[in-house]
Structures are given as C-alpha cells and as structure tokens.
Structure 1
Amino acid sequence: MSDTMRGVPFPELLKCALAEYRKSGSFYHVPVRKGTGQGLMQLAGRPLSLPVGPAAGPHTQLAQNLIAEFAAGARIFELKTVQILEGEALGIQKPCIYVDDEAYNIEWSTELTVREAAEEYIKGYLALQLLAKECGLDADFQFHISVGYDLAGIQSPKIDWFLNTMQDASSTPFWEQCLQQAEACLSLFERVDAAFLRSIDPHISNLVTLSTMHGCPADEIEQIAAYLIEQKGFHTYIKCNPTLIGYDNVRKLLDDLGYGYVSFDHSHFEHDMKLPDAVAMIERLQKRAETQGVTFGVKLTNTFPVQIQHEELAGDAMYMSGKPLFPLAIHVALALSQATDGRLPISFSGGIDAHNMQAVLDCGIAPVTVATLLLKAGGYRNLARLADLAPASIPAQVDVAKLEALCASIRQDPYYRKPEVAKKQVPPSTPPIACFRCRNCVDVCPNRANVPLPELKAAVHVDSYCNECGNCACLCPFGYIPYRDKFTYFETEADFMSSSNDGFLNREKYRWNGAVSTDFSALPEDLRQVVDTFLAQKDGVSV
C-alpha cells in the first residue's frame, strides 16, 4: 500500500459529513457535541468560544480531520507546520508514531506539499463554516497556522504565498473553486443559501506560530518573528523548547516521575536558546508587536528529542510527547512567567489532558491544545471531555502564584508517575479480515482511514486516507497491524496495484488471499456484505 494520503474532494466532504450527521449525529465517526463554549473570549482580536482543540500534528493535516475535531467540540485548530521542504523530499520513514504511556514520533511538518496543505486548510475552513450554519453549531473557531524552520525558507516565494493565502484566500483560484462547488451542492442544505456562502470571511488565519529546529540560533528566531510581525502583520507566537529549563532540571523531573529510562544527552541543551536570552528576546518582540498592534506570545512546548534505544522507530532519535512532557512544559511556563510578571501570553500543548487542563486554564494559560491525547484510545472523542471541562472564565494574564503551586504539586501527584503498561494480547495466527472486536483503530486514526460498519460488526481500511503513521498498530489490543491486515478499499487502479493488502477496487475487482479476481460471487459471503455495505455507505452516507 502507499503511504501517501490524499484529501477528500470538497463536494464529497460536504456530502459525507451532512449525510452522516443526519443518519447518526456524527461527523467522520465522531458524535457532534452540541454544547458551546461556556464563556466567549477574544484571541488575536477574534472571538473564540472555547480555547481547546488539536495541536499542530498528525490530526491537522487533512480537512476531514478538522471536521472530526469540530464535531468533538474543538474550536481552536493549530494547523500542521508548513515549510519549504515538502512532500517526498521530507524523507519521513514509516511508521513515524509510537505510542505507549507517552508518545514518540519522527515526523515534524506536513507530509503534503505547501499547495496541498493550503487547499486542505481552505476546504476545512469552508466546510466548518457551512456545517456550523446547517447544524446550528457555534462558528466562533480559529485556525492558527504554523511555519518553519528558517528565515530563508519562510521568506521564499512558496511560503510567502502560503502566508498570504491564509491571511486572505479570496484571491486564490481554489477558494473560488470551492465556493462554486458548494453552490452546486446547495440542495444538500436547508439553512445555507448562496448569500450566506458568499458572505464567508476569506481571512482564514491571522495568527502564526513559528516552529524552529532544535539548535536554531536565537538571533535567527528573533529575525523570523520580527518579519512575521512587522512585514506580514501576523499575531505571532514562537514555539519554545523544554531545554529552556536546563539539563539537570529535565533529568531530575523525569527521573523522579519514573521516566529514568528516557535517554538524552547534553547536546540539545548546549545548542538551544538559553533562558536569559529567551527572556530578553521576548521583551524586545513584545515591544515590536505592541507597535504593530498585534499580539506576541509563546507556544509551549516543542516535543522533546530523545535517543532511540529499543527500535521503537527508525533512526537514532525521536521526539517525546504526552504525559511526561507536561512537567517539562509547565516548568518552562513558570520560568517565563516569573521573568515577565505574568504578562506573556502562553499557548500550551505539552501533555494536556483531562487531569490538568482546568488547572492550566485557571492559571491564565490559554488556549490549550492536544496531540498525544488524540492518539490514544478514544481518539478524537477525547476532545469532547476536554470541552466539557473548560471553565466559564479564564484570567486575562498568567497568575504566577497559581502556576507556582501547580508546578510544586507535580512530584507529589501519582498521576504523573510512569504506570505499569499491560502487555498486548498475542494475536491469533490469522487476523479477522474486517475485525471489529473493539473500535480502537477507528477512533485513533488521525486521518479517519478505518471506517466502521457497525451493523456488520466490521471495519474497512481506506487506502487513500492512510499515511502508514502506525498509530493504529500501537493501539490494537490484539497485536494486529490494521493498516495492513484489514480488508482495504482502493479508489484507483494504481492504489490497488501498488498494495498487497486484500481488498477491493470499487465493484471492479478484489484481492483475496493474495489472488485477484473480478468475480465477486466467489468472495466469501461475509466479505461481499462488507463490500456492498461500505460502497452503499460511501455513495449515500459517509466514508
């Protein structure tokens, strides 16, 4: 099978989402949360009904991902980082995600080309506007973009086009193409008309997060941020590294909490920006932003680079996220907040979950976003729980005393200690081809590539949505590799021929036990039912 994912055409995106909502009250297998944010807040000069959503990562690459997150209650969307290096040139090895108690990855920016990424973000933005109107959901959401990794790349024509497009998509042919496609689909809607469609604000994003590689010089980070603020006019946040609190503090925090096996050396701490330099730079950039009438803040934090010791993923190094990242990131928040008397806006994503989200927001740190939480059992549905836990109000700036108390509590909190992780069950010799023993692979796939057929107690894998990240294999309690083992739907002949998976190409042909045939009557009856049900759902309800 191919590890290259493709976006869903915009008309199909709308048709599938609406049909599924009317049948089951869900978008892309995620129940639609009807509640709105408990208190309206302003961020980057725009309204935001709930400061909770996905972080820039595997869940914010494709438009269907954004729709699934919106269903769960997300209203802040940090889009996957875009850089001048794109597509196959990235050379990302697969699988690229490994989830245990914590999570690890070896990917860093979108696997799409810059133009493909912009098109997915345009489709997602327009779809959310239309679905919110049709389904009576609040539309006070925000898209925040992320770019990297050096000044030359960000100033290149390719990334400059991306920045300009996100600021105002109305000048791009693809925006107009999507509007025309939506106009052709207006019969699907009851509450959306042409006037509403044409009134949608084309200014997709006015806030950018700068993501730089570990070891990027402080002066270059400052130059890039100044460029984004002064030349491009964005509200700008810079992503900071856990290394800001120093090697000894990081090592002791992880050791005290049972993560002594996590291996790293001094190299990143030596090459990354130091805390005094960061504080001085922040003060200068805040003044620049104030002069331009925009916001400057920090995003905490980058994932933490560690050494690969047990072949969890390919290569020598990987990036750690999840629960053990929280103590590191929240101590970075404390150090920066103490140095700036709480005046520094902080966006936070390091290990946020239901255990700590309320405490973080109560400190005046917002918005909060998640990635690892969505890779675990429950997947996108975990966002709904966070949305329900959001407080009614958030302090206008960081409460340093509360933040100090939160940091002091971590070592005494058993929640943050490394737990014993149960061993996976040994799989049978032959995995069930359309296994639906649980729905883990459905829920945890970032790209919605495992589609449930509950009436048959089956699930089908969609080849074109999958990038072989490997997360479904990590979370399968039976030890299967769903993206290889499941009966697979192929959209094109090329997809079918490039894969060894058993599966079907529409109603044209299928592969079963490795043999290709066009005689569907020879396919086992249970698999014929899977094919018929899936294709009927795809054509009339949802993929």
Structure 2
Amino acid sequence: MADLTPIPLPVLVNRMFRELAAKKSAFHLPRFKFAKAAAGRDMSTSIFGRRAATPFGPAAGPHTQLAQNIVLSWLAGGRVIELKTVQVLDHLEIARPCIDMETVGFNIEWSQELSLEQSLTEYVKAAMLIEMAKAEGLAPGLEDTVIDMSVGYDLAGIRTDKVRAFIAGMKDAGAVIDRLRRQIPDAYARFRDLAYPTCISDSVTVSTFHGCPPGEIEAIAAHLMAEEGLDVVIKLNPTLLGKADLNALLHDRLGYTDLVVPDATFEKDAKWQDVRAIVSRLGDLADRIGRGFGVKFSNTLLVHNHKPFFPAGTGEMYLSGPPLHVLAIELVGRFRAEFGDRLPISFSAGIDVGNFADTVALGLKPVSVCTDLLKGAGYGKGADYVADLADRMAEVEATDLDTYALKAFGLAGAALDDLEMPAGRKAALAAAIETGEDLRAAAGSDFGPWVSAARLRNTLHYAARVRDDRRYSRPEVDHPPRRTGVPLSLLDCETCGKCVNVCPNDAIFRYPLPQQPVVAATLRPGADVAVGEAQPVTRAQQIGIFADACNRCGNCDVTCPETGGPFARKANLFGSPASLDDAPDRDGIAIEKTATGLRLHVRDEGRRLTIDDDGARLACKGDGFDLSIDPAAPETACGVAGRPLDVGRLILIARIARAVTAPTIVTYANTAFD
C-alpha cells in the first residue's frame, strides 16, 4: 500500500503563494479557473444557519483528504466542503488501484488513509490556507464557507476517545492553530496574525457503511446531536428503492444490466419503512434540542466487480457517476413525497456541469461532486458549475436561489395550486409572474411556502426527465479514454497533462528537462567505462510525481494514453529521506539542500544510494560502490565498484533532481527548501 505523507504547512504556504506570483496558478489550478462571483446573483445558501457563498462543494472522498485537495476545491468554487470520512480504524490497508473512471465510476476506497491526528491537522491546515486565500482577495464576493465533518462507521467507534478527540479538535482547533501559526514562513509573516476561526466545523455527515443496521444509524445520529452538540446529516443508500424498483431503473430503463447488486445488500441495508421512522424521530429530537438534522442522497451503490481493473480477489465495488444520479433523484422524489420540504437534503450522485444548476433548482444543498472531478479538467470544472448556475439564474432573472427555484422550470404558477390561500391571492401572485415583478416582495410572508411548493414540483418534474434522458443510459458502445498501447517510460511520454488534471492530490506535475541526450555508460568492476549510444530526450516537458501525496489510486493510469501508469513509471520525488524510507516498495528520490549543492537520497530498482551533486561532479555511494562522476565526461568515472553500475542512470537521476528544484519552476521539491 502507498501511504500518504502530509505536506508540512510551510511547504504548502510557499508553494501556493510562490506559484500564484510566478505562474498565476495555485496547486496547478490556473487563476482564471478560480470561481468568480456574478454581479447581481446571490448564489449563497444556508447550511444549518451558516452561510455558504455557493451550494457547490466536493463530496467526502479523494478531494477532501489532504490540505491541498481542500484548498483546490475551495478555489474552484466549493463553499460547502464535506471532509473525507474518518473512523476509529485509522491504519487501513486499502487495495490499489482503488479508483476506476474508465467509463462511469467505480471505486473500492471508503475511508481516510491518515491517522485521526493527521486528519485533524490536515483539515486545520486547509482552513488556515483558505483564510490566507481570502486575505489575499482570491475570492471576492464568495468568501463564506462551511466545512462539514464526515464520520463513520459504527457507534462504538464514534464513542471512542480517539474519535471524540478528533470531533473536539474540529469544534475547537485553537491549540492546533497556535502550533501551526508559528510555522508560517517569514516571507508570509503577514498571515501569522490572521483571526483564524477556531471552530473548523460543528456539523457532520454520518457515513454508515453498506449493511449498517437501521437502529445503529439512528443511535449514531442521536449521539452526535445530543452528546457532541453537532448538526447532523445521515447519508442513505440507493438500496432504499428496493430490489425490484432499483433494478427496473438500473437494468430496464438505463440498460446497465451488467451491474448487479448482491442480494445480501438489499437484505442488510435499511428499508424505506425503517428510514421513514428513523427520520421522523431524529427530526423531532433535533427540534427538541435545537440542532439541525437532514439527509443525504446518496451513498455509492455496492455492485459485484465484473471488471479486471481492481486487484485480484476484489469481489465488490462501489458505483458512482451518471446511473447513480437517476437512482438518487428518484429517492429525493420519494423522500419529498413523504416529508415535503421540512428537512434539508444534501445531494451527491452523478453531478456534472450539465445537471448541477438543475439539481440546485430542487433546493438541494449542498450539491456535491466527486466522480466528475476525477475526469477531464479535474478541479478546473468547479468554476464552470458556478458560472453555469449564475448564467441560468440570469436567464430567468433570478437574483437568489429561492427565486431561482420558483423560476427555473417555469413551475411557479403550478406550485400556487399546492398552497392553501385565497383564490384572489393566488391570482395576484400568478399575475406577478407574468409581469416580471419581484416575487419575494409580491409574496411577502407567503414566499417561503411558495418556494417549498415549487421545490416539490421541480423535483417531480426533474425526476421524470432524468429517467428518460438518454445521457444517463448505458451507451451502445463504451468510450473509454484513448489508449495508444505505447509503454510509458521515465521520460518522453505524450506529456498531454491529463494525469496532472485528474490527480485529486495535486501529486503530478510537469517539469522542464534540457533536451540533451541521456548518456548510455556502464562501469564494470576492473574495467573502463563502456560508453554506448546516447538516447535523445524528445520532450522539453516531463512528468513527475510527488510521492508523499500519491496513494497510487490509479486514476492517472486510467486517463493516460500510454500504458504502465504515471505513478509507477515517472520520477517519484519524496519530501524527505524519512518518507522515502517509509516506502520501501517504491523507487524514488528525496532531495536535500547542502552547503555545496544537492544531496540525493535514492532508491533505484530497490537499491538505496546517495548522490552528492556540487554542480561539477557527482559523488555516488551505495552498497558496494563509491564513485566519482563528471556528468560532462562519464567515461572518466572512477572509484570502487563491486558490481556493474549504470553511470548514465546516475547522471540522469542527478539531472532530474536539478530540473525539479530549478528556481524557474515551482514544485513541492524546491518550495521545501525555503
């Protein structure tokens, strides 16, 4: 398993603000792709009384585990950040690869990959970096942000001292902030005295694992509200539709006959009648104790693994993406038929730029995304969601999301039929629609009930529409990402940058490498250096991996046109010798700055060595060799060698280290030196 090593706050601060100054980007997201406010359009929503400047955000998952992921989500417009789910078992072995976005979306990851202490620190670091971004004016008009915890997976674990300490730290992070504040580099000392909010989050989305008993779900939510003082959302499973109705949609209407939900899942998961009773009781409890309560649709859908992508023996996987959208919207419709607009509904299932604004019109909040951000432009899509919502609001002349809900599908008039009010009053409001009056002003105290009625109408309308929308159906021919069949190598791939965009951890980067040939030279014990034909470097830009932030999820491999996986074939750079040593199954380089140049700690083909580069010669030491090399004249390499040594390879490693730490680019490697 590839373990994540959190990047220290000083490195993140240096990286973010140096890159903004030098490249007009942050963590590879161009500044022109930062989300922007729209004049005259208030896209804000209320999450349990807290204002979020947009209803968009990343779902709990790969985009909300590390500090840089969370900041990227925020820069892209996410103002409701649902953090990666944490649990008491915080040293898990998750099989790799774990994310398959070849067609729709499948994964086998389900929990955090950091310890609870590390997760708390990451989330606090992210919140502090967001405050720094606000102070620099990176999101004028879109500052308000809500951060939401996610915990699982059973009551016993949530009640442990470890999890309760995590929750307490999220509610009052003052001690962590004080510790981190002192780490802010001198160049950015202006951020040390910012008034960082000490409450990172006091709301939680409960992630209950597939098969969690209904009574356990209720007990967890009640404990978190009553004992921890949190506002609570419970995430519900698509199996609430029941086997017959789910398969009628998934197989008969959408055509995904190859996706089979195990019968045991339907048997173990909560049933609709269970959830009806649970929600009623928890809603009443929330009212009594003054807490917020809501539901989320939906969790992923557990299906049999019928593909060869995941490691051998992986019997089940979790479906996300377009087909899940239809299933989850169907559940929203059923829930609203039962509970009306009384309880807030959070939504995450197959969201993309084509349906985000429609889903917002249903009054769902937040509308969060995971699968779509793992494809194409990655985080860069976020600004498109926000911009498209603003455009849709402008089209119907809506200045806020409530008015947008009334106007989005043209159902404001029909919604009046669902309200108990005098006929004359309904006629006056219908006239206000026709004449383009301010509907909020015209409706007065009736505005809230009218909006609720419109949300219900919109939900039924939209659910019927997506059931028949062919873009959610299985295509006759799948169109996976393009593959050339060319084996990926250390240097000179297509350098298309697709892997850079889809990496949720910002672990993949481009770097310039001088196009001088790669020397072919071998030193044999007791013999001179044998020099062969040099290999050309054909690309000015190369691809590297910052290994500390790479968990080998496999998403870059799915996207890459060539075969072999960037995470495995490209140069892996570690943040420290310690993190290199902690990954004995991965070749790579950890770079340190010395008084005379660079010291490289290297694992190459499983063998550990060091290279000291003073700019003129390389001093290379390892098991059975101690060598001095002039990169300009490799044939003069000399020293002790107990086995044949690839001198050209050592020179190339040193060249890569020089390239990724050059002052002309910004990487985690060189910002760590500041």
With structure 1 as the length reference, what TM-score do the two structures score?
0.92
Seen in structure 2, the aligned counterparts of structure 1 residues 501 and 289 have a Cα distance that, compared at 3 Å, is: closer
Matched, 1:412 2:419: no
> For residues 173-322 of structure 1, what are the structure 2 equivalents within 5 Å?
174-182=176-184, 184-185=185-186, 187-188=187-188, 192=190, 194-195=192-193, 197=194, 199-255=195-251, 256-314=253-311, 315-322=314-321
Matched, 1:438 2:500: no
- Which structure is richer in relative contact order (CA contacts within 8 A, separation 6 or more)? 1
> For residues 442-457 of structure 1, what are the structure 2 equivalents within 5 Å?
442-453=500-511, 456-457=540-541
SS at match of 1:504: strand
- For residue 99 of structure 2, the aligned residue among 97, 106, 117 is 97
> How many angstroms apart in 1 are the aligned matches of 2:81 and 2:548?
23
> How many angstroms apart in 1 are the aligned matches of 2:192 and 2:4?
32
Q: Which residue of 2 aligns with 1:361?
A: 360
Post-superposition offset of 1:499? 5.1
Post-superposition offset of 1:480? 3.1
> For residues 379-528 of structure 1, what are the structure 2 equivalents within 5 Å?
379-391=378-390, 392=393, 393-395=400-402, 397=452, 399-419=455-475, 420-422=477-479, 424-429=482-487, 431-433=489-491, 435-453=493-511, 456-493=540-577, 495-496=579-580, 498=583, 503-506=588-591, 507-509=598-600, 510=602, 518=611, 519=618, 521=631, 523=648
Please identify, of 338-347 and 386-395, the stretch whose mean Cα deviation from structure 2 is larger. 386-395
8 Å CA contact 2:205, 2:234 repeated in 1: yes
Q: Which residue of 1 aligns with 2:516?
A: none
8 Å CA contact 1:289, 1:295 repeated in 2: yes
Q: Report the AA paired with residue 80 of structure 1.
A: K
Post-superposition offset of 1:367? 0.8
8 Å CA contact 1:427, 1:480 repeated in 2: no
Seen in structure 2, the aligned counterparts of structure 1 residues 194 and 330 have a Cα distance that, compared at 3 Å, is: same
SS at match of 1:488: strand
> How many angstroms apart in 1 are the aligned matches of 2:553 and 2:155?
29
1:156-215 Cα shifts (integer Å, max 9, x gaps):
111111111111111x3x321112223x53x326xx4554x1x22111012101111122
Q: Which residue of 1 aligns with 2:168?
A: 164
> How many angstroms apart in 1 are the aligned matches of 2:68 and 2:566?
20
1:37-73 Cα shifts (integer Å, max 9, x gaps):
7413322221210111110001111001111222222
> How many angstroms apart in 2 are the aligned matches of 1:93 and 1:193?
40
1:262-295 Cα shifts (integer Å, max 9, x gaps):
1223221122111122122212211211222222
1:8-37 Cα shifts (integer Å, max 9, x gaps):
111111111011111122211012315137
8 Å CA contact 2:483, 2:560 repeated in 1: no
8 Å CA contact 2:68, 2:506 repeated in 1: yes
Q: Report the AA paired with residue 476 of structure 1.
A: C
> How many angstroms apart in 2 are the aligned matches of 1:445 and 1:523?
31
> How many angstroms apart in 2 are the aligned matches of 1:281 and 1:514?
54
8 Å CA contact 1:324, 1:351 repeated in 2: yes
Q: How many positions carry a matched residue from both structures?
A: 532
8 Å CA contact 1:59, 1:446 repeated in 2: yes
8 Å CA contact 1:18, 1:131 repeated in 2: no
8 Å CA contact 1:53, 1:69 repeated in 2: yes
SS at match of 1:460: strand
Q: Report the AA paired with residue 25 of structure 2.
A: S
- For residue 78 of structure 2, the aligned residue among 74, 78, 95 is 74
1:455-482 Cα shifts (integer Å, max 9, x gaps):
8321211111111111111111223311
- Higher Cα radius of gyration: 2
Q: Which residue of 2 aligns with 1:28?
A: 27
Q: Which residue of 2 aligns with 1:57?
A: 61
Structure 2 unaligned segments of length 5 or more: list them. 394-399, 403-450, 514-539, 592-597, 612-617, 619-628, 632-646
> How many angstroms apart in 1 are the aligned matches of 2:338 and 2:57?
28
8 Å CA contact 1:453, 1:533 repeated in 2: yes
SS at match of 2:211: coil
> How many angstroms apart in 2 are the aligned matches of 1:126 and 1:496?
28
Q: Which residue of 2 aligns with 1:11?
A: 10
Post-superposition offset of 1:354? 1.0
Q: Which residue of 2 aligns with 1:133?
A: 135
Seen in structure 2, the aligned counterparts of structure 1 residues 361 and 307 have a Cα distance that, compared at 3 Å, is: same
Post-superposition offset of 1:493? 3.4
> How many angstroms apart in 2 are the aligned matches of 1:500 and 1:169?
36
Q: Report the AA paired with residue 505 of structure 1.
A: A
Q: Which residue of 1 aligns with 2:636?
A: none
Seen in structure 2, the aligned counterparts of structure 1 residues 139 and 422 have a Cα distance that, compared at 3 Å, is: same
- For residue 115 of structure 1, the aligned residue among 114, 117, 120 is 117
Structure 1 unaligned segments of length 5 or more: list them. none
8 Å CA contact 1:31, 1:72 repeated in 2: no
SS at match of 1:319: strand
8 Å CA contact 1:380, 1:443 repeated in 2: yes
> How many angstroms apart in 2 are the aligned matches of 1:310 and 1:364?
37
> How many angstroms apart in 1 are the aligned matches of 2:385 and 2:335?
26
Q: Which residue of 2 aligns with 1:533?
A: 659
> How many angstroms apart in 2 are the aligned matches of 1:289 and 1:3?
41
1:383-408 Cα shifts (integer Å, max 9, x gaps):
12112122453236471111111111
Post-superposition offset of 1:438? 0.9
> How many angstroms apart in 2 are the aligned matches of 1:490 and 1:540?
12
8 Å CA contact 2:487, 2:563 repeated in 1: no
8 Å CA contact 2:298, 2:349 repeated in 1: yes
SS at match of 1:100: coil
Q: Which residue of 2 aligns with 1:342?
A: 341
> How many angstroms apart in 1 are the aligned matches of 2:231 and 2:586?
46
Q: Report the AA paired with residue 298 of structure 2.
A: T
Seen in structure 2, the aligned counterparts of structure 1 residues 285 and 467 have a Cα distance that, compared at 3 Å, is: same
Q: CA RMSD in A?
A: 2.4
Please identify, of 412-421 and 457-466, the stretch whose mean Cα deviation from structure 2 is larger. 412-421
8 Å CA contact 1:431, 1:485 repeated in 2: yes
The percentage of counterpart residues that share the same residue type is: 33
8 Å CA contact 2:490, 2:571 repeated in 1: no
SS at match of 1:220: helix
> How many angstroms apart in 2 are the aligned matches of 1:36 and 1:390?
11
8 Å CA contact 2:488, 2:564 repeated in 1: no
Post-superposition offset of 1:435? 3.1
Post-superposition offset of 1:492? 3.3
> How many angstroms apart in 2 are the aligned matches of 1:333 and 1:125?
31
Q: Which residue of 2 aligns with 1:148?
A: 152
Please identify, of 509-518 and 30-39, the stretch whose mean Cα deviation from structure 2 is larger. 509-518
Seen in structure 2, the aligned counterparts of structure 1 residues 458 and 272 have a Cα distance that, compared at 3 Å, is: same
8 Å CA contact 1:17, 1:542 repeated in 2: no
> How many angstroms apart in 1 are the aligned matches of 2:216 and 2:181?
39
Seen in structure 2, the aligned counterparts of structure 1 residues 204 and 502 have a Cα distance that, compared at 3 Å, is: closer
Q: Report the AA paired with residue 132 of structure 2.
A: L
8 Å CA contact 1:151, 1:223 repeated in 2: yes
> How many angstroms apart in 2 are the aligned matches of 1:23 and 1:336?
50
1:323-355 Cα shifts (integer Å, max 9, x gaps):
111011111111111101222210101111111
